[in-house]
Structure 1
Amino acid sequence: MTYREARVYLDEMSKYGSVLGLETIRGLLRELGNPQDDLKFIHIAGTNGKGSVLAYTSMILSEAGYRIGRYVSPTVVSYLERIQVDAKWISEEKFAELTERVRNAIARLETAGEDLPTVFEIETAIAFLYFKEMKCDLVVLEAGLGGELDATNIIRNTVCAVFASISRDHLGVLGNTLTEIAENKAGIIKSGCAVVSARQKDSVSSILRSRAEKYGCSYVQAEPELAEVEKEDYHGIYFSYKEFRSLHTVMAGKNQIGNAAAALEVIRTLRQTGYKIPGDAVKRGMERTQWPGRFSCIGEDPVFILDGAHNEDAALKLRESVEVYFPGRRLIGIMGVFKDKEYEKIVQTMGPLMSVIYAVDLPDEKRGLPSEKLAEVLEKYCPCVKRPDVSERQRAVDCAVQASLLEAGKEDVILAFGSLSYLQWVKDAYDKAVW
Structure 2
Amino acid sequence: MDYKEARAYLDEAGKTGSILGLESMRALLKELGDPQDALKFIHIAGTNGKGSVLAYLSTILKEAGYRVGRYISPTLFSYRERIQVNEEYITREALAEHTTCIRDAAARLKAAGKPQPTVFEIETALAFLYFVQEKCDIVVLETGMGGDTDATNAVQTTVLEVLVSISRDHMQFLGNTLAEIAAHKAGIIKPGTAVVSARQEPEAMQVIRETAAQQRAKLCIADVVKATDVSCGLWRQSFSYGGYKDLEIHLAGTCQIENAVVAVEAVRALNSLGFKITEGQLRAGLSKTVWRGRFTVLNEKPLFIIDGAHNRGAAEQLKASIETYLKGRRIIAICGVLRDKEYEAVLKTVAPYIKEMITIETPDNPRALPAEKLAEIAGKYIPEVHAAGSIAEAAAESIAKAEREDGVILAFGSLSFLGALAGEAEKVTANGVNSNKINCGGEMPVRCRG
Superposition TM-score tier, normalisation by shorter sequence: over 0.9
Q: What are the residue-to-residue correspondences of 1:311-330 with 2, within 5 Å?
A: 311-330=311-330
> SS of the counterpart of 1:173?
helix
1:352 CA drift (Å): 2.5
Partner of 2:396: 402
Q: What are the residue-to-residue correspondences of 1:204-243 with 2, within 5 Å?
A: 204-243=204-243
Partner of 1:421: 416
Letter in 2 for 1:401: A
Query: For 2:50 and 2:249, how far apart are their aligned partners in 1?
Result: 16
Query: For 1:220 and 1:283, how far apart are their aligned partners in 2?
Result: 21
Q: What are the residue-to-residue correspondences of 1:152-167 with 2, within 5 Å?
A: 152-167=152-167
Q: Is the Cα contact below 8 Å between 2:372 and 2:386 reproduced in 1? A: no
Identity across matched positions, percent: 51
Q: Deviations over 1:320-360 (max 9, x none)?
A: 11111111111110000111100000111112211110000
Partner of 2:245: 245
1:388 CA drift (Å): 1.3
RMSD in angstroms over aligned alpha carbons? Answer: 1.1
Partner of 1:141: 141
> SS of the counterpart of 2:141?
strand
Q: Is the Cα contact below 8 Å between 1:229 and 1:237 reproduced in 2? A: no
Query: For 1:41 and 1:70, how far apart are their aligned partners in 2?
Result: 10
> SS of the counterpart of 1:265?
helix
Letter in 1 for 2:396: Q
Q: Is the Cα contact below 8 Å between 1:301 and 1:411 reproduced in 2? A: no
Letter in 2 for 1:113: G
Partner of 2:40: 40
Q: Deviations over 1:283-324 (max 9, x none)?
A: 111011011100000111221100000101101110111111
Q: What are the residue-to-residue correspondences of 1:7-406 with 2, within 5 Å?
A: 7-389=7-389, 396-406=390-400
Q: Which deviates more from structure 2 when the two are superposed, residues 239-248 or residues 301-310?
A: 239-248
1:232 CA drift (Å): 1.5
- Unmatched 5+ residue regions in structure 1? 390-395
1:422 CA drift (Å): 0.4
Query: For 1:26 and 1:273, how far apart are their aligned partners in 2?
Result: 28
> SS of the counterpart of 1:145?
coil
1:201 CA drift (Å): 0.6
Query: For 2:318 and 2:309, how far apart are their aligned partners in 1?
Result: 7
TM-score (norm 2): 0.94
Q: Deviations over 1:45-83 (max 9, x none)?
A: 000000001000111011001111111011111110110
Query: For 2:284 and 2:66, how far apart are their aligned partners in 1?
Result: 14
Letter in 2 for 1:407: K
Q: Is the Cα contact below 8 Å between 2:239 and 2:246 reproduced in 1? A: yes
Aligned length: 429
Q: 1:137 to 1:105 in 2, by over 3 A?
A: same
Partner of 1:393: none
> SS of the counterpart of 1:73?
coil
Q: Which stretches of structure 1, 4 residues or more, deviate above 3 A after TM superposition?
A: none
Query: For 1:388 and 1:219, how far apart are their aligned partners in 2?
Result: 48
- Unmatched 5+ residue regions in structure 2? 431-450
Query: For 1:418 and 1:236, how far apart are their aligned partners in 2?
Result: 24
Query: For 1:198 and 1:54, how far apart are their aligned partners in 2?
Result: 14
1:230 CA drift (Å): 4.8
Letter in 1 for 2:257: I
Query: For 1:352 and 1:135, how far apart are their aligned partners in 2?
Result: 50
Query: For 2:51 and 2:220, how far apart are their aligned partners in 1?
Result: 20
Q: Is the Cα contact below 8 Å between 1:22 and 1:154 reproduced in 2? A: yes
Q: 1:236 to 1:364 in 2, by over 3 A?
A: farther
1:204 CA drift (Å): 0.8
Partner of 1:412: 407
Query: For 1:302 and 1:229, how far apart are their aligned partners in 2?
Result: 31
1:259 CA drift (Å): 0.5
Partner of 1:392: none
Query: For 1:3 and 1:245, how far apart are their aligned partners in 2?
Result: 47
Letter in 2 for 1:414: I
Query: For 2:305 and 2:408, how far apart are their aligned partners in 1?
Result: 8
Letter in 1 for 2:262: A
